[in-house]
Copies of this chain bind each other. A is one copy, B any other.
Amino acid sequence: MTTSTVPPVPAVPTVPTSRLRIALAQLNTSVGDIDGNCDKIVDWTGRAAAAGADIVAFPEMAVVGYQVDDLALRKSFVRASRTALDALAGRLAEAGHGDVVAVVGYLDGSEATERRSGRPPGSPQDAMAVLHRGRVIVRSTKHHLPNYGVFDEFRYFVPGDTLPVVRVRGVDVAIAICEDLWQDGGPVSAARDARAGFLLSINASPYELDKDDVRLELVRRRAAEAGCALAYVNQVGGQDELVFDGDSVVVRADGEIIARGGQFTEELITFDVDAARADGLPPAGPVADGITVDHVLVSDGPAPEREPIAAPISERVSDEAEIWGALVLGLRDYVRKNGFRSVVIALSGGIDSALSTAIACDAIGPENVYCYSMPSKYSSEHSKGDAAEMARRTGVHFGTVPIEPMVRAFLDTVGESVQQLTGVAEENLQARVRGTTLMALSNQSGHLVLANGNKSELAVGYSTLYGDAVGGYAPLKDLFKVRVWELARWRNKAARERGEVPPIPENSIAKAPSAELRPGQLDTDSLPDYPMLDRLLDLYVEQDQGRDALIAAGFDEEVVDRTLRLVDLAEYKRRQYPPGTKITGKAFGRDRRLPITNAWRERSLRP
């Protein structure tokens, strides 16, 4: 997306303006690492000061990271956040950056213990403070609390009802937190009523495919509603299932993009903006939605003349490149922030483990990726060959562990002492011997085990608990199978375009999927073909459509019933699966919550 798509600029009356310089610190913080996050805030405020910024803005909850979950209910944690925030003001001044107005998200709360309806004990707050010359000059609390999808903020926070407005170089800058921008009314309307000259929004907004477009439209609409330019700063980085993409953006009231950050990269986005100078004070009483303006003066005179700065406007990338960026950063941060350095992967020669390996190579380098082929007597020659070829192309560590001796020992010993193992018991046994082998290598060498399952498999439970489901992270967890193939082709094409060797053997992409747990087994023995399965799953899982709607959409009744039954019965398996990077609206993680014990079937209602 480029600025050429911006609508025509409407005529605006000439008002006195001041040219503010603002820096958005699109940072990768770590949940719970208060010391490290504060060090980063000091460091990046220094960079903003060096660029001559009047204001530097950090993401929502930058001091503690996001999401902190039940840590918000732990008093010692809230106290640590408050203490660190207060110390930060002094640290910035000592470092010589006290003149920069720093807008910092943090966790606040009280020592009170009483529980009232709808108020968590200690009344934690998703808060923001403005730091200047060694002091906290104003604080505020998020007004709208999201409580859907991956968000549970009614569980953790109490809402605020003030809008901080800081006058900097004569411009009244209003500050809102995240969801406050996504909901109608509230702080955006209050900013308009307060006649703010600029609106700053600090965020921790998780990535979803196409969300950058949604976000831009939203930011444009809110800028128009507020009647002033708007800057949106977001964090980047992986946090368990979530990955934050950055995509910080600044638009004028007419919607024109002034600056835009990239996705999945840490950046300081510095820009100049001509903002209306304030004329008098904002209203003293409540404005929109009962919100009161909390006005603070930093400096009233206009900004000095200075050399204009060139603001970055990052280009948008393809869907595949965007998803790839999410997968790579999601995995890299999970490995790094959990204290691992290397990963171990079961490389089967199939497409899923090949794509996992390619992602891992891009995330932490092939020198930190350990792949093992673990053939059984049912493994095909092409499987073993394709696994070795993948390793050769990428340069990962590679070894082979035949599983037949272990499988034989189980079959013989259990067979002699209790009963013969046959059918699914024998099939799953092979997967579990592989899982146990991976965990032994992980325990011995400290690698994080990656699980290679994709979303289509997980949806229908086509995996072995404690077998191929073993691992600490599952990079493909939120990718339907058809998307796995698309990304493999895209990654190979990108390599060719850069003159590099495509990492994934063509044969791993082209061959028919098979678990190879019995002779001649194919996925299609048990499942509809993947293009149809994925469409069905998209409707049932992502869009929550019922059985009748699926049949009305033209799917075969028998296929619908069989698939829905598989999905409904696989909840426990999915629950036990490792976390993975969330790409869509309803990944099988914290945003889709179903009981395990659940007799509901779409067809169970009496006619």
Contacts and interface: CB of A to CB of B under 8 A. Distances in A.
B440 A544 contact: no
Contact of A240 (B155, B417, B596): B596
A148 B155 contact: yes
Which 8 A-B pairs have CB atoms at the shortest separation, nearest pair first? A32-B600, A76-B546, A33-B599, A425-B443, A425-B444, A409-B409, A32-B599, A154-B154
A437 interface: yes
Given A155-B148, A410-B406, A417-B401, A33 B600 contact: yes
A432 B421 contact: no
A33 B80 CA distance: 47
A338 B439 contact: no
A557 interface: no
Interface string A122-149: 0000000000000000000000100110
A506 interface: no
26 contacts: A33-B604, A34-B605, A68-B595, A69-B593, A70-B594, A71-B600, A75-B546, A118-B147, A148-B155, A239-B597, A240-B597, A337-B597, A338-B597, A402-B413, A406-B410, A409-B409, A410-B437, A420-B444, A421-B444, A425-B440, A425-B444, A428-B439, A432-B435, A466-B466, A466-B470, A576-B578
Contacts of A110: none
Number of copies of this chain that the complex holds? 2
Nearest to A549: B76
B409 A544 contact: no
A564 B592 CA distance: 31
Nearest to A404: B413
A593 B240 CA distance: 13
Contacts of A67: 595
Interface string A239-257: 1100000000000000000
A232 interface: no
A413 to B, nearest CB: 5
Interface string A243-273: 0000000000000000000000000000000
Nearest to A592: B70
A606 interface: yes
A334 interface: yes
Interface centre among A84, A413, A421, A606 (most CB of B within 10 A): A413
Contact of A604 (B35, B154, B548): B35
Contacts of A604: 32-35, 80
B414 A440 contact: yes
A33 B419 CA distance: 35
Contacts of A299: none
Given A408-B409, A472-B572, A595 B239 contact: yes
Nearest to A432: B436
A334 B599 CA distance: 12
A380 B413 CA distance: 20
Contacts of A75: 544, 546
A441 B470 contact: no
A74 interface: yes
B424 A429 contact: no
B602 A76 contact: yes
A458 to B, nearest CB: 15
Interface of A: 30-36, 65, 67-71, 73-77, 79-80, 83-84, 115, 117-118, 120, 144, 147-148, 152, 154-155, 183-184, 238-240, 333-334, 337-338, 372, 399-403, 405-406, 408-410, 412-414, 417-425, 428-429, 432-433, 435-437, 439-441, 443-445, 465-466, 470, 472, 544-549, 572, 576, 578-579, 592-602, 604-606
Contacts of A117: 144, 183-184
B547 A76 contact: yes
A14 B596 CA distance: 53
A333 B413 contact: no
A42 to B, nearest CB: 13
Contacts of A69: 593-595
Contacts of A425: 440-441, 443-444
Contacts of A433: 436
A35 B606 contact: yes
A418 B372 contact: yes
Max chain B Cβ within 10 angstroms of own Cβ: one of A69, A148, A466, A592 = A466
A523 to B, nearest CB: 19
Contacts of A333: 597
Contacts of A572: 472
Contacts of A155: 147-148, 152, 154
A71 B440 contact: no
Nearest to A413: B405
Given A437-B410, A466-B435, A84 B605 contact: yes
B417 A402 contact: yes
Given A32-B604, A35-B604, A118-B147, 12 more contacts: A32-B595, A75-B546, A80-B600, A84-B605, A337-B599, A406-B413, A420-B444, A423-B444, A425-B444, A428-B439, A432-B440, A435-B466
